[in-house]
Amino acid sequence: MNCFNHTEEVAVSSCADCGKGLCKSCSSLYEMPICNECNLRRVKSDKSNILKIYLPSVVLFLIGLLPAIAGGDIVRGLVQGWIYAGIP
């Protein structure tokens, strides 16, 4: 089997996700042997998962923070926001 990207090179490994053949230079691009397309797919998936995980905590922090700051107590606002952010 030859490399998917470099058809003249012999494949030394295959992509961990899709199984495409990878030559020595392609298989050493990332920590694990993975093709560029599958790596981009994983990065996009990771970015969306990060938003799903952290966005509720940020919103809840602001919900706890803003009323206390409006009242003039910044320290209470930070503590209350920190407590709210820990709910999820």
Range of the domain at 59: 46-88
pLDDT at 14: 93
Domain count, the chain: 2
Residue 7 domain-assigned? yes
Residue 40 domain-assigned? no
Residue 41 domain-assigned? no
Q: How confident is the model at residue 85 (pLDDT cuts 50, 70, 90)?
A: very high
Residue 83 domain-assigned? yes
Summarised one tens digit per residue, pLDDT across range 16-28 is 999 999 999 999 9
pLDDT at 68: 85
Residue 52 sits in the same domain as residue 80: yes
- DSSP result, 14-74: E-TTT--EE-HHHHTSSSS---HHHHHHHHHHHHHHHHHHHHHHHHHHHHHHHHHHHTT-H
Q: With a threshold of 0.85, does the pTM exceed it?
A: no
Residue 86 sits in the same domain as residue 59: yes
Identity of the amino acid at 68: A
CB 2 within 8 A of CB 19: no
Residue 88 sits in the same domain as residue 55: yes
What is the mean predicted confidence (pLDDT) over 35-63? 92
Q: How confident is the model at residue 33 (pLDDT cuts 50, 70, 90)?
A: very high
